[in-house]
Chain A
Amino acid sequence: MVGDTVLAMHMSDGLVNGPTAGAFGLIAVLGLVLAGVRARSDLDDRTAPMAGLVTAFVFAVQMINFPILPGASGHLLGGALVAILVGPWVGSLCIAIVLCVQALLFADGGLTALGTNIVNMALVGVFVGYAVAVALRPLARRSRAGLVATAFVAAFVNTVVASLAFVLEYAIGGAGGASLGTVFTLMIGLHVLIGIGEGVITAATVGAVASVRPDLVHLLRGTAPPLQLRRAGDTGVTESRATEGNPS
């Protein structure tokens, strides 16, 4: 049994030893530099507010802790949500920013644990969520229900794999004093439950965005039917209406 640091996903200072924190800090910096370079081409006038909003949104939903067992609670990670809405490169930057602001301003999660937290949630979480979403893309493009199902599965897998990354870090340099087996069982058990909650919220959000502004969903890029020029007297009102929601 270890501190709620584990259960709430966020790690605080002193949970893993110095060298481990340093090594993962380095991995986090390298990953974010790469993400920053790749994200530049992804960010334009329309996606910049989206990135800001999705970051603020993840910030807000991470404040919601849902109790799972007596004394234990977990929160949403938002990795799959940002990966589906703004893509993995901008997405991992968004999550990393949330973690930094929380650590600097709201003292949520330790400053020296930032590296491990970023690797878990911003790199592992986002990219695993994105990989699942891309694997299921044919399903997501077929129908709204398919997209919602994709979002659910991606969010679920993202949560569980991010918790596995934590177990790995704890195995390398844990300083808490609990046995690895206990940590593993607790993390997986709890994050299966958190993953379901995460999946429901991700699915609801992605579903709502896709039904109103499908052009904003990164995963669906390139699926909008091309605009057609129509002249007066042409029939086919229904077809032109189908393209209305897709100005891209």
Chain B
Amino acid sequence: MAGAGHGHPLHLAGTSPVHRLPAEVKIVAAFLGVVCVVLTPREAFPVFGGYLVLLAAIWVVAGIPPGWMVRRSVIEAPFVVLAVLLPLTGGGPHVEWLGLQLSEPGLLGAWNIIVKGTLGVLTSLTLAATTSLRDLLLGLQRLHAPALVVTIVTLMLRYVDVIAAEGRRMRLARISRGHDPRFLWQAGATARGVGSLFVRSYERGERVHLAMLSRGWTGAMPRLSETPTTRRDWVAGLAPVAVALGLAVTGWVTA
């Protein structure tokens, strides 16, 4: 967005066919793909491998290094870390593994959360890596998201920068007045200043909003190119979804 840079930390600029696909196609495809993953029965183990191969194929086309993807997928860690406990606490028939009594339903439950959560995160990351914020907003607009929603999203993304910058300024001010922030102890000062951070950001944000209005912003993202989304784009974008659907059906039949 305007202001601090044009990308977000999860965006990997590129010109691959995946990058060039219209954003609305990618949003729909990512959503349908995850729906397929979630509806797959958890006992269909090979099918989940199939999903991973499918995603890897998309990464190859998009030119995203797998390592880049894996590093960012640690965002998921807090979600799944406790799933490790499920096999130890669940009831039902137990299996022995390395001298540990593991519950079978617990193991399946943990597997379910981890594998579906991971595939979901990887899909969202693929969408984020290949789509800039601007395109994402345009995609939402073309999917006929209500104008009100587009307005709030645009302002929100703009104001994330405002808040971050205001927070940096307040931190600088504290340091220059003799505050000595260490790792965790910054948190206390930041928490106490949260109210004034909000008011200061609002007052700056109000000016930003007026500046946007005076430059002709009407609440919608202006379209810079008039290339319409063709049927070919949709076919190309939905092809991986068709593969995912095939995998899901295989899962239902075999499990």
Hey, which bits of chain A sit against chain B, CB under 8 A? 1-5, 7-8, 10, 12-15, 18, 21, 36, 39-40, 43, 45, 48-53, 55-57, 59-61, 65, 71-73, 90, 93-94, 97-98, 101, 103-108, 110-112, 175-179, 182, 200-201, 204-205, 207-209, 212-213, 216
With an 8 A cutoff between CB atoms, is B45 at the interface?
A: no
B31 lies within 8 A of A107 (CB): no
**Lowest 7 A-B CB distances belong to which pairs?**
A52-B155, A208-B195, A177-B109, A14-B116, A107-B124, A56-B159, A13-B120
B198 lies within 8 A of A209 (CB): yes
A57 lies within 8 A of B83 (CB): no
Given A18-B38, A49-B205, A50-B202: A94 touches B79 (CB 8 Å cut-off): no
Tell me what chain B mostly uses at the interface: helix, strand, loop, or mixed: helix
B90 lies within 8 A of A177 (CB): yes
Nearest chain A CB to B68's CB is how many angstroms away? 14
* Complex: A45 Cα to B207 Cα, angstroms: 12
Nearest chain A CB to B143's CB is how many angstroms away? 12
Q: Which residue of chain A is the closest to B202 with respect to CB atoms?
A: A53
Stretch from B57-65, B145-153, B229-237 at the A interface:
B145-153
User: Digit string of B121-161 for contact with A (CB within 8 Å is 1, else 0)?
Assistant: 11111011000010010000000001011011111111110
List of B residues within 8 angstroms of A101 by Cβ: 153, 156-157
List of A residues within 8 angstroms of B202 by Cβ: 49-50, 53, 209, 213, 216
Can you spell out 7 A-B residue pairs with CB atoms less than 8 angstroms apart? A3-B80, A52-B151, A65-B78, A94-B156, A98-B156, A105-B8, A110-B34
Q: Which residue of chain A is the closest to B119 with respect to CB atoms?
A: A13
List of A residues within 8 angstroms of B199 by Cβ: 208-209, 212-213
List of B residues within 8 angstroms of A12 by Cβ: 76, 79-80, 113, 116-117, 120-121
B124 lies within 8 A of A21 (CB): no
List of B residues within 8 angstroms of A205 by Cβ: 194-195, 198
* Complex: A7 Cα to B206 Cα, angstroms: 36
Q: Which of B117, B125, B155 contacts A110 (CB 8 A)?
A: B117
A3 lies within 8 A of B82 (CB): yes
User: Digit string of B68-79 for contact with A (CB within 8 Å is 1, else 0)?
Assistant: 000001011011
Nearest chain B CB to A91's CB is how many angstroms away? 11
A107 lies within 8 A of B121 (CB): yes
With an 8 A cutoff between CB atoms, is B191 at the interface?
A: yes
Given A49-B205, A104-B136, A177-B106: A13 touches B156 (CB 8 Å cut-off): no
List of A residues within 8 angstroms of B151 by Cβ: 43, 48, 52
* Complex: A14 Cα to B164 Cα, angstroms: 34
* Complex: A45 Cα to B212 Cα, angstroms: 12
With an 8 A cutoff between CB atoms, is B85 at the interface?
A: yes
Given A12-B117, A106-B10, A176-B86: A59 touches B106 (CB 8 Å cut-off): no
Q: Which of B108, B116, B160 contacts A177 (CB 8 A)?
A: B108
Nearest chain A CB to B220's CB is how many angstroms away? 13
Q: Which of A4, A49, A57 contacts B80 (CB 8 A)?
A: A4
Nearest chain B CB to A233's CB is how many angstroms away? 35
Q: Which of B117, B159, B163, B198 contacts A14 (CB 8 A)?
A: B117
Given A53-B201, A104-B136: A14 touches B113 (CB 8 Å cut-off): yes
* Complex: A212 Cα to B196 Cα, angstroms: 9
B108 lies within 8 A of A111 (CB): no
A4 lies within 8 A of B79 (CB): yes
Nearest chain B CB to A17's CB is how many angstroms away? 9
Given A52-B159, A104-B128: A208 touches B149 (CB 8 Å cut-off): no
List of A residues within 8 angstroms of B153 by Cβ: 55, 97, 101
* Complex: A155 Cα to B108 Cα, angstroms: 36
Q: Which of A55, A71, A105 contacts B81 (CB 8 A)?
A: A71
A40 lies within 8 A of B148 (CB): yes
Nearest chain B CB to A148's CB is how many angstroms away? 10
Of B73, B75, B117, B199, which is in contact with the most chain A CB atoms at under 10 Å from its CB?
A: B117
Q: Which of B79, B158, B198 contacts A3 (CB 8 A)?
A: B79
* Complex: A21 Cα to B37 Cα, angstroms: 13
Nearest chain A CB to B55's CB is how many angstroms away? 13
